[in-house]
Amino acid sequence: MNRKGYLLLVFILLISLSFRLYINYFIPITQQINLLVIFMGLANLILIFYIIQRLANYKIGLLTTLLYAISPWAAYLEVAASPYIILLTFLLVLYVGTQALNVSKKFSLMLAILVIVFFIYRLNQITIFSDVGLINAVNSFRGETNQTIFVPLSKVIENRYIYFSEHLLFNVLKQFTPATYFTNQVRLLGFSFASPIYVGLLIPFLFGLVKSIRSVPRSSITEVIAITALLMFPSILSKDSPDLSRLILISPVIFFVINSGISEFIINYKRKLFRFLLFFTLFMVILQFVTTISDIAVRESVRLQMFLNQK
Amino acid sequence: MKQFFVFLLLLTVLGGLFRFYHITKNPISLSIDEVAFGYNAFSILKTGRDEYGKFLPLTFKSTGDYKNPVPIYLMVPSIALFGLNEFSVRFPTALIATLSIPLFFLFFMEVTGSRAVSLVGVLLLTFSPWHIYYSRYVSDHLIAATLVILGVLCFLRMLKKGRWFWGVGSAVFLVLSMYTYYAERLFVPLLVLVLFLLKGRDLKVRFKQVVLFVTVCIIIASPLIFSIFFGSDRARAQMTWIGNDVEFVRNVVLNPLTNIPFLASDNLLLFYFGVRKYLNYFDPGFLFYSGLNMTKGGSYGLGVLYLFEIPFLILGIITLIKKKIQGRDLIITWILVGLIPASLTNNEQHPGRTFVILPMLIQISATGVVELFRFAKSHFNQNSIKLISALFFIIIVWNLMQAFLIYSVHFPRQKGEDFMEGTKETVEYVLANKDKYKEIVLDPYRGIEAPYIVSIPHMYILFYSQYDPATYQREEKIRPDGSFGFDKFTIRKIDWRTDRFKKDTLFVGSPWSLPEKDIKNDEILKRVYLSGGQPAFLIVSPD
């Protein structure tokens, strides 16, 4: 990477810092900004850049870092001092470390599993098993069926094990809803109306995803599924799944897929459709960024207040 | 060939059974829309006019929601044949749904060109919870979607065969679907545009037929277009517009705010809100768990697809991405365009507004099933295939039994109120005892947790008494005190503090307006309960 590249990286870090301070200025999420988490957030940016530039090239690395920096997802969590930002730092350091030390893939994966399990266990974050609503639902269903002639059928079909398995499957599937990541369907920190990732990036994401499905060799499918499952694991175990705070762990992967889509647009720049898609994406992202900035200044603190009042 | 036809016939008979069995008992009662549809059809049959006295209208004002004409006119022969009752009202939808099983086969064949995919698709349709649910009560969504399928089938035939009547048929069915349900008014023009783009080359060859198609479309659609832009249909569009969504209003409009910069204006945020609604239709909760809204919010019910379809759908999507199968572009664009109308309206995910995408989702699942079999055949031995099939069979049977319990046990108990359960019972009591009272007052407000449902009890009285439409049209319905009523019936909010002194009057209302603690036991003539055990109505006459 040349000097211009390093300057750009520093510039992106400054943008990132300004965006977080801007959010903190307009929305009183915490009494005092947690500098450690903000610092971890900046470290995450550098680590993401380092990993992506090794996997692809430094231009893609810079783009990924920029998109990560200006997206509200990590920014809000950092301002709110979410512990999952720290977990993300650990995982990124782990990845870089195992790569540098040439540790085997299996060992790296085991280590990552251990870190995540230890972290969520320490924070007592496995709430899926204590979901009272689920038990109540099963009891209510059984109670209704007991008034009919279908009691034996109900014992087989409507027991807590079946419902718990369904619930778990449901939690897994919910992580794959595009509205969770690209719109405000799941509120960031429970109150925000900002999309975690700008919706304009959905098109390059889909292109990137299709490209990945087409290009990933069959032998690597298990590996990809294992990594995805691992990073989504904390959110799957949440009662309020999908949990955007926990899903931040998968965000670098999502941004990487988005950038494979964007690089597809750039490679095929001479074709009209791709040129249009590139400019359309750029336009949409800039527009939503500016809209989000304005909305943060105008409405977000009111929403936070309404959220706190409801609580 | 013979076996294949027998199989299709069997599926149609089985599908008919699922759609007609106990049709008058489940859904548990006629909904507000159903009685309104039914009485207007009865009124048309007897007088040629709707409840307001309008001659053969193209939009029925009804309860102020401006109902579409096709479902009502379709009901007229059924009511003439079976009389005005639950069966005659629900019969046309169930019949169309049953007949759509072989129709879907023809459509799937035309789109994919694969008999295997089409047969599996029809099998999935026969058991589809989405299709069965909307088949069993008056569903303008289902009728409209079937008309769209017919229209597109004719359109594709027109391009293939070049006969003029396919073009005319296509235009008639497609435009009729726009007279049947609101979502089609946006979906059909977009779909036609998509078809023109996808079949551009064929259109040049069939230029004359296409001109005829467009001409017929314009001629039949012109009254509707006029009504949308200048008439009553505009009011309906404004009522359901996404900008009126409660969540949007609560989080974006924020009344006290002034001097908002353009980039944070409501309009830009409304766009993103619409995108969110659009993407939310890909939510697995909607697709596989509770999309049909047949159980209380948050608990597990039925999605628009079965749980066992998850692997098939995923495999189908991967096949669509990896292989260039016939009809791929149409399948994808159909789904993408089909979700647009629903995304522009208020309220949460609505399975009815998106019903039109059902055929394409089924096609994707069917493609997944066929691909899975192909994959298994080439990668596993016979015994492994048998084992996998047995495993799938167990999961499918378990899933179908679960759906059966939800439909037959939980749905009536948990959603009776939404279908106005109890109203028929109260109306029958009122009609039987009508002569004993000078006035009968019915409170339109009801609800288990709060009186948040505004019903139309007068329409149930008109329906179950088969009240003469000509008399009803003539009667002055707004009373001198501003209340609404006809004959002996008055529809207004009951205030028991003052109403308790009115002699020779019968009051029908929920426990919210007739609090039991304030009423003497012998004044309560009847209590009506929901299937879930909660009190729905009290029928009271003060001493």
The pair of structure tokens assigned to B220 is: 């039949």
- For residue B127, which of B397, B316, B353 has the smallest C-alpha distance? B397
Residue A26: inside a domain: no
Task: Tell me the DSSP string of B5-43.
Answer: HHHHHHHHHHHHHHHHTTTTTSSSS--HHHHHHHHHHHH
**CB B261 to CB A298 under 8 A?**
yes
Name the strand (E) or helix (H) holding A206: helix A202-215
Residue A122, pLDDT > 70, answer no
Question: Taking the CB of residue B268, how many other CB atoms lie within 10 A of it?
Answer: 18
- At residue A9, the pLDDT reads 92
Cβ-based contacts of B250 with chain A (< 8 Å): 306
The pair of structure tokens assigned to B339 is: 């979700």
Closest approach of B541 to chain A, Cα-based (Å): 33
Q: What's the CA gap between A173 and B510, in Å, rounded?
A: 41
Per-residue pLDDT tens digits for A24-41: 999 888 877 788 888 999
Determine the residue type at A52.
I
The pLDDT-based confidence of A215 (bands split at 50, 70, 90) is: confident
Closest approach of A152 to chain B, Cα-based (Å): 12
Q: Residue A144: which of B254, B300, B409 has the nearest Cβ?
A: B409
Residue A229: inside a domain: yes
Is the Cα torsion angle A9, A10, A13, A18 positive or negative in sign? negative
- At residue A160, the pLDDT reads 80
Which residue matches tokens 């329906």? B463
Predicted interface score ipTM higher than 0.85? yes
Cβ-based contacts of B322 with chain A (< 8 Å): 213-214
Grouping H, G, I as helix, E, B as strand and the rest as coil, residue A159 is: coil
Identify the residue among B290, B299, B302 best suited for mutation to test binding to A, counting A beta carbons within 10 A and taking the highest.
Answer: B299
B432 close to A (CB below 8 A):
no
- At residue A129, the pLDDT reads 60
**CA atoms in the 13 A half-sphere facing the CB of B36:** 21
- For residue B140, which of B296, B455, B417, B350 has the smallest C-alpha distance? B350
Closest approach of B296 to chain A, Cα-based (Å): 9
- At residue B261, the pLDDT reads 66
Q: Which residue of A has its CA nearest to B320?
A: A210
Peptide bond into A242 cis (omega under 30): yes
- At residue A286, the pLDDT reads 93
- At residue A13, the pLDDT reads 94
Residue A44: inside a domain: no
Q: Which residue of A has its CA nearest to B409?
A: A145
Integer-rounded Cα radius of gyration of chain A: 21
**Per residue of chain B (543 residues), what is the pLDDT tens digit?**
778 889 999 999 999 999 999 999 999 999 999 999 999 999 999 999 999 999 999 999 888 888 999 999 999 999 999 999 999 999 999 999 999 999 999 999 999 999 999 999 999 999 999 999 999 999 999 999 999 999 999 999 999 988 889 999 999 999 999 999 999 999 999 999 999 999 888 888 889 999 999 999 999 999 998 888 887 777 777 888 888 888 888 887 775 556 666 666 788 889 999 999 999 999 998 999 889 999 886 667 899 999 999 999 999 999 998 888 899 999 999 999 999 999 999 887 899 999 999 999 999 999 999 999 998 888 888 888 899 889 999 999 999 999 999 999 999 999 999 899 999 999 999 999 999 999 999 999 988 888 888 888 999 999 999 999 999 999 988 888 888 999 999 999 999 999 999 989 999 999 999 998 889 988 999 999 999 889 999 999 997
Q: What's the CA gap between B412 and B90, in Å, rounded?
A: 17
- At residue B259, the pLDDT reads 63
- At residue B413, the pLDDT reads 92
Q: What's the CA gap between B118 and B324, in Å, rounded?
A: 17
Contact of A69 with A14, CB cutoff 8 Å: no
- At residue B299, the pLDDT reads 66
Residue A196: inside a domain: yes
Residue A156, pLDDT > 60, answer yes
Identify the residue among B259, B279, B375 best suited for mutation to test binding to A, counting A beta carbons within 10 A and taking the highest.
Answer: B279
Q: Residue A199: which of B275, B285, B413 has the nearest Cβ?
A: B275
**CB A157 to CB B322 under 8 A?**
no
Helices (DSSP H) in B281-357: which residue ranges? Answer: 284, 310-322, 328-338, 340-343
Q: What's the CA gap between A160 and A26, in Å, rounded?
A: 46
Cβ-based contacts of B254 with chain A (< 8 Å): 299, 302
How many distinct structural domains can be found in chain A?
Answer: 1
Residue A216, pLDDT > 90, answer no
Grouping H, G, I as helix, E, B as strand and the rest as coil, residue B468 is: coil
Q: What's the CA gap between A296 and A23, in Å, rounded?
A: 7
Q: What's the CA gap between B349 and B351, in Å, rounded?
A: 7
Note down the domain range covering A265.
94-310
Residue A47: inside a domain: no
Residue A244: inside a domain: yes
Cβ-based contacts of A182 with chain B (< 8 Å): 275, 279
Work out the angle between the directed axes of helices A272-295 and A202-215 (0-180°, nearest 10): 130
Contacts of A167 (CB under 8 A, 6+ apart): A128, A131, A134, B300
Residue A265: inside a domain: yes
A 249-308: CB under 8 A from B = 287-288, 290-291, 293-295, 297-299, 302-303, 306
Residue A74: inside a domain: no
The pair of structure tokens assigned to B128 is: 């589809």
- Cβ–Cβ pairs < 8 A, chains A and B: 120
Mean pLDDT value of segment A3-18? 91
Which residue matches tokens 């006969």? B163
A 141-200: CB under 8 A from B = 141, 144-145, 148, 150, 153-154, 156-158, 163, 166-167, 169-170, 173-174, 176-179, 182-185, 193, 195, 199
- At residue B268, the pLDDT reads 85
Q: Which residue of B has its CA nearest to A193?
A: B251
